[in-house]
Amino acid sequence: MAEVAVLYLDDLYAGQRFTSGTYLMDETRIKEFALEFDPQPFHLGESAAQASVFKGLAASGWHTAAVAMRLLVTGGLPFVNGIVGLGGEISWPPPTRPGDLLRVESEIVEITPSRSKPQQGVVTVRMLNQNGEAFTFSTRRFWYGNVRCDLSAPRKEMEHAPRKIGTSQLA
Amino acid sequence: MAEVAVLYLDDLYAGQRFTSGTYLMDETRIKEFALEFDPQPFHLGESAAQASVFKGLAASGWHTAAVAMRLLVTGGLPFVNGIVGLGGEISWPPPTRPGDLLRVESEIVEITPSRSKPQQGVVTVRMLNQNGEAFTFSTRRFWYGNVRCDLSAPRKEMEHAPRKIGTSQLA
């Protein structure tokens, strides 16, 4: 089983980057997700999608966003007390297609202490498909957001080695 | 079957408001969604959630966002050619709990013509739970975003009466 270091606040620094595992977008799951949460013709069937602005079947942007979260949570951004989003910006420049292999690249932009919450960090997240695999940070991103994460959990033990967690859930 | 008018671009104006149907957040579905997309302890089980910053089981913010999209698509924002989000801001001030009855209130902030896309509108969306039902636009919102929608579809027929669509999918 692969292992990923769990990071505490003082392990982090601006400019630090992380790359998630990958996730294959499945056509059946794209349609199921859309039927439950975004039942519009261009997410449900090929012919309507061809006639739409998407020019072919496209995943709901909320499906893509949810997959990004899965990639972050299952090793892509291994913060010790999890990833609690407070908000941010989101955009979907190109559509996500069946067969796309997605991954998330993250960069810590800043870590800002606040009075009400001991520490918070702002992390810039880029989601790339298989065409962006050469570590490019171009506009060929699938999801982009500033995710503010609560990094306030104290270390439970005074130890230098980062903890390990399993990543068996990675695609 | 209830009916909702389908709106074309020239039916819209800044300040126009819409209210969606409602959606009941189910505990089992909250845990299923989290297991697939956001497998963190505070979304999966009550005891871990009690010990977390959420102080009780909370839905993934991406689940809440996806439900907001469902509410918009199933009558909450009846644009003629659907709702295609280009991006916006998102935040989750309070957590969403099992048993919460969610709805979305939308307000058209502006409709901005562009050269590449004939018309686009900026719509401000607020998602409220059952405690916000008195048409309050307070900070007690569950989802807030500026959704830019492609409103460029031409009317197919010259008719004055808005089209009707069914809303049998509404919760």
pLDDT tens, residue by residue, A54-100? 889 999 988 988 888 898 889 887 776 677 766 666 666 678 899 98
SS3 A162: coil
Instruction: Tokens 């901005």: give the residue.
Output: B112
For residue B134, the model assigns a pLDDT of 25
For residue A5, the model assigns a pLDDT of 67
Does the beta-carbon distance from A39 to B74 stay under 8 Å? yes
Instruction: Tokens 């993250």: give the residue.
Output: A106
Cα–Cα distance between A119 and B98 in angstroms, integer?
29
Query: Does the pLDDT of residue B149 top 80, yes or no?
Result: no
Compute the nearest-CA separation of B62 from chain A (Å). Answer: 6
How confident is the model over B82-93, as pLDDT tens digits? 777 666 666 666
* Assigned token pair, B99: 């048993």
Query: Does the pLDDT of residue B20 top 80, yes or no?
Result: yes
Does the beta-carbon distance from B65 to A61 stay under 8 Å? no
Which residues of chain B have a CB within 8 Å of the CB of A70?
36-39
Amino acid at A149: C
Does the beta-carbon distance from A169 to B39 stay under 8 Å? yes
For residue A27, the model assigns a pLDDT of 97
The candidate with the shortest Cα–Cα distance to A62, out of A171, A149, A142, is A142
Interface contact B157, partner A, CB < 8 A: no
Range from A81-90, A148-157, A162-171, B27-36 that averages highest in pLDDT:
B27-36
Strand (E) or helix (H) holding B50: helix B46-50
Query: Does the pLDDT of residue A169 top 60, yes or no?
Result: no
pLDDT, greater one: B156 or A37: A37
Burial A117-135 (b: 16+ CB within 10 A, else e): eebbbbbbbbbbbeebeee
| pTM, entire model | 0.75
For residue A75, the model assigns a pLDDT of 86
Contact B52, B91 (CB under 8 A): no
The beta strand positions in A59-162, using DSSP E, are 87-91, 101-113, 119-128, 141-150
For residue B17, the model assigns a pLDDT of 83
Instruction: Tokens 């799951």: give the residue.
Output: A29
Contact B74, A37 (CB under 8 A): no
Which residues of chain B have a CB within 8 Å of the CB of A80?
none
* Assigned token pair, B116: 């590449």
From the list B61, B70, B145, which residue is nearest A37 (CB)? B70
pLDDT, greater one: B70 or A152: B70
Query: Does the pLDDT of residue A39 top 90, yes or no?
Result: yes
At A24, the pLDDT band (50, 70, 90 cuts) reads very high
Contact A60, A75 (CB under 8 A): no
Amino acid at B93: P
How confident is the model over A126-143, as pLDDT tens digits? 666 555 432 222 222 222
For residue B160, the model assigns a pLDDT of 33
Q: Which of B23, B63, B69 to mutate to test the interface with A (most CBs of A within 10 A)?
A: B69
Cα–Cα distance between B143 and B162 in angstroms, integer?
29
Compute the nearest-CA separation of A15 from chain B (Å). Answer: 23
SS3 A68: helix
**Above 0.90 for ipTM, yes or no?**
no
Average pLDDT, chain A: 68
Instruction: Tokens 């013509």: give the residue.
Output: B113
For residue B130, the model assigns a pLDDT of 58
pLDDT, greater one: A46 or A168: A46
Query: Does the pLDDT of residue A164 top 50, yes or no?
Result: no
Does the beta-carbon distance from B82 to A39 stay under 8 Å? no
Interface contact B23, partner A, CB < 8 A: no
The candidate with the shortest Cα–Cα distance to B48, out of B58, B36, B38, is B58
Please return the burial class of B59, using the count of CB atoms within 10 Å of its CB with bins 0-12, 13-18 and 19+: buried
Please list, in sequence order, all residues whose beta carbon lies within 8 angstroms of the beta carbon of residue A154, skipping any fewer than 6 positions away.
none
> Terminus-to-terminus CA distance in chain B, angstroms?
13
CA distances from B49 to B56, B111, B153 (A): 5, 42, 46
The candidate with the shortest Cα–Cα distance to A100, out of A34, A56, A35, is A56
Query: Does the pLDDT of residue A28 top 80, yes or no?
Result: yes
SS3 B57: coil
For residue A13, the model assigns a pLDDT of 81
Number of residues assigned to chain A: 171
Which residues of chain B have a CB within 8 Å of the CB of A39?
70, 73-74, 169
Instruction: Provide the sign of the torsion angle of the four alpha carbons B93, B97, B103, B104, taken in this order.
Output: positive
How confident is the model over B92-131, as pLDDT tens digits? 667 889 998 888 877 776 666 555 555 555 666 666 655 5
Please return the burial class of B102, using the count of CB atoms within 10 Å of its CB with bins 0-12, 13-18 and 19+: buried
